[in-house]
């Protein structure tokens, strides 16, 4: 058989591989461009992420998250994410947050997140300790900077937060040194610092808050407020930030037929 015939046979036999090789090359290239930044440590309900390819993927316990991911929670759904530097973030239902920047390499530390809707709570880790000036939380109304922090960000749509505040009227309010009243504030963006300190910037103005205090931002201005809203302090979803499905607690059941230890996944 001459070389020309052999070449034609080989071309025919391997031609079907070409599309698969292209898919493999594209997949490897996409994976190489996607940087792992953390994982889900607690999740309930419909939680998903969209990366650079914009293809949604469901998130559950131990699911990886990547830089540039958009994390979304559905109705009555929430999640807790632990980043590589031990920063932890909890997202309440109907929330959306984008991981804009994240780098925990020594000397290059930075982290930037955008809250599109809903609410989040964050306990900052090593990046926030080493380079607090490089950690930023962005929203439509204001930009939040930190100095080693436990902070809460919350968008209020229509009267949802007002109704939540009324339902929590049995709890004592947390007063601050600010004179601006929370009553009468239209729906907008609320933020609070529970430990450490934060600052909010908008249109050249800056509000600095030390724990425990809160602020409010509208489309025009940003200011502190006289009370930390109950819907922030007592948010059952955001307060799951210390939950981790790897943590097991032992309970001793004492009874005639049940004298044995049992464990429950939190």
pLDDT tens, position by position, 94-128: 999 999 999 999 999 999 999 999 999 999 999 99
Query: Is residue 65 within 8 Å of 73, Cβ to Cβ?
Result: no
Q: Is the pLDDT of residue 7 over 80?
A: no
Q: Is the pLDDT of residue 193 over 60?
A: yes
Q: Tell me, what's the pLDDT at 131?
A: 96
In the chain, the percentage of residues whose pLDDT exceeds 70 is 79
Residue 153 CA to residue 212 CA, distance in Å, equals 14
Residue 161 CA to residue 55 CA, distance in Å, equals 32
Tell me the pLDDT tens digit for each residue of 40-61.
999 999 999 999 889 999 999 9
pTM over 0.85: no
The SS3 assignment for 29 reads helix
Query: Is residue 227 within 8 Å of 175, Cβ to Cβ?
Result: yes
Q: Which residue has the higher pLDDT, 36 or 255?
A: 36
Q: Is the dihedral of CA 115, 118, 123, 125 positive or negative?
A: negative
The region of weakest confidence among 24-33, 106-115, 178-187, 208-217 is: 24-33
Q: How confident is the model at residue 187 (pLDDT cuts 50, 70, 90)?
A: confident
């Amino acid at each position: 058989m001459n070389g020309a015939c052999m070449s034609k046979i080989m071309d025919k036999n391997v031609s079907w591989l070409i599309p698969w090789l292209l898919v493999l090359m594209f997949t490897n290239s996409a994976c190489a461009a996607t940087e792992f930044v953390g994982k889900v440590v607690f999740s309930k309900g419909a939680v998903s992420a969209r990366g650079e390819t914009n293809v949604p993927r469901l998130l559950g316990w131990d699911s990886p998250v990547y830089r540039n991911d958009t994390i979304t929670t559905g109705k009555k759904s929430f999640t807790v994410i632990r980043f590589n530097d031990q920063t932890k973030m909890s997202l309440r239902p109907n929330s959306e947050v984008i991981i804009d920047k994240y780098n925990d390499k020594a000397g290059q530390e930075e982290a930037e997140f955008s809250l599109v809707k809903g609410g989040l709570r964050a306990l900052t880790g090593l990046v926030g300790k080493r380079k607090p000036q490089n950690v930023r939380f962005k929203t439509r109304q204001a930009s939040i900077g930190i100095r080693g922090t436990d902070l809460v960000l919350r968008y209020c749509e229509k009267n949802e937060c007002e109704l939540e505040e009324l339902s929590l009227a049995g709890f004592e309010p947390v007063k601050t040194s600010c004179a601006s009243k929370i009553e009468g504030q239209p729906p907008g963006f609320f933020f609070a610092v529970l430990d450490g300190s934060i600052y909010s910037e908008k249109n050249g103005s800056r509000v600095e808050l030390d724990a425990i205090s809160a602020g409010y931002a509208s489309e025009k201005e940003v200011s502190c407020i006289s009370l930390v809203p109950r819907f922030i302090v007592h948010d059952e979803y955001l307060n799951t930030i210390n939950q981790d499905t790897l943590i097991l607690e032992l309970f001793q059941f004492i009874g005639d037929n049940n004298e044995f230890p049992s464990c429950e996944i939190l």
